[in-house]
Amino acid sequence: MAHSLSDEELYNLARKARRHIIEMVHSARSGHPGGSLSIIDILIVLYFRELNVSPSNPDDPHRDRLILSKGHASPGLYAALALKGFIPEDSLKGFRKLASKLEGHVHYGIPGVEASTGSLGQGLGIGVGLALASRLDSLDNHIFVILGDGEIEEGSVWESLMAGHKFRLGNLIAILDRNGVQLDGFTEDIMPMMDIRSKVESFGWNVLEIDGHSVEEITAAIESAKRQRDIPTFIIARTVKGKGVSYMENNPKYHGSPPESEEMYQKALSEIGDA
């Protein structure tokens, strides 16, 4: 896909998406802002620059597929899908509410969503299966899976890393949201992962490391991963949990809590700024 939007325009879209994320969890009085804010720049680059997907032809068999394995970051995905035109921006108000399709965790059945996720450690396996199906059908699309760094404490992720290598899935690209924070605290205190890069490399994957908030670096890494046709690629995106809202940044509390007052809510929106 051509780079029709400038980096500046993408940063602006990310700002819009951040506002949506805060509005959604505020309106729902619940949800997961921290890990949504940490991946939003990646999601915006994917949807507006790298993914071959179209709201007017959502079932195109040749489309790229994105699985958000860390399904609690649903506000981030829903915001990106709304900005892209898969769902009305107005519908985001329904997040987590009974009358809405916008389930608390990512829900298959929402236009643009490729699989339900929420319970962790399942998305990479789904990605392996989609990549195998694409190969059987001789498609030249790509399968993207976004993982959380707390999530990779699940053993099933490592099972799927083995499978990705075994089947030499060059059409599979995993992106790790390396924000260092999980629900109960900092990842290295809860369960030290140590050198993720060398672990994943030893599983036979092509590993790249980038700043997950730099549109330029995200783009370059994905372009490079797409050129790698022999083995799957694992992009470690260094991110800040809660990025863009000072009191949420690096604060485990905002893994799964909305702003606790109207004042905090307004503060979050003003820090993000107008888009």
Binding site for another protein (CB under 8 A): 61, 65, 108, 114-119, 121-134, 136-137, 143, 155-156, 159-160, 162-163, 166-167
Beta strands 233-238 and 206-211, pairing class: parallel
Is the CB of 82 or the CB of 120 nearer to another protein? Answer: 120
Cβ atoms of 49 and 14 closer than 8 Å: no
The least distance separating another protein from the CB of residue 205, rounded to whole angstroms, comes to 15
Quote the least distance from Cβ 160 to another protein, whole Å: 5
Which residues have a Cβ under 8 Å from the Cβ of 13 and sit 6 or more positions away? Answer: 5, 44, 48, 83, 275
CB of 81 to another protein, least distance (A): 17
Report the residue number, 143 or 245, with the smaller CB distance to another protein.
143
Smallest separation (angstroms) from another protein to the CB of 135: 9
Percentages of the chain per state (helix, strand, coil), in multiples of 5 = 45, 15, 40
Q: How far apart are CA 159 and CA 95, in angstroms?
A: 33
Question: Rounded to whole angstroms, how far apart are CA atoms 249 and 142?
Answer: 32
Look at the chain and count its residues.
275
- Of 132 and 196, which CB lies nearer to another protein in the complex structure? 132
CB of residue 190 vs another protein: minimum separation in angstroms?
20
Q: What's the min distance (Å) between Cβ of 4 and another protein?
A: 28
Instruction: Between 31 and 127, name the residue whose CB sits nearer to another protein.
Output: 127
Nearest to another protein of 171, 239 (CB atom): 171
Instruction: Give the amino acid at 140.
Output: D
**Selection from 120, 121, 31 nearest residue 79 by Cα:** 31
- Upper half-sphere CA count for residue 132 (Cβ side, 13 Å): 12
Token code pair at residue 51? 């993914």
Is residue 265 within 8 Å of 274, Cβ to Cβ? no
CB nearer to another protein: pick between 13 and 113: 113
Closest approach, Cβ 130 to another protein, in A, equals: 4
- The answer to whether the CB of 92 falls within 8 A of the CB of 79 is yes
The answer to whether 217 and 211 have CB atoms below 8 angstroms apart is yes
Tokens at residue 244, please?
């863009």
Compare residues 40 and 131 and give the one whose CB is closer to another protein.
Answer: 131
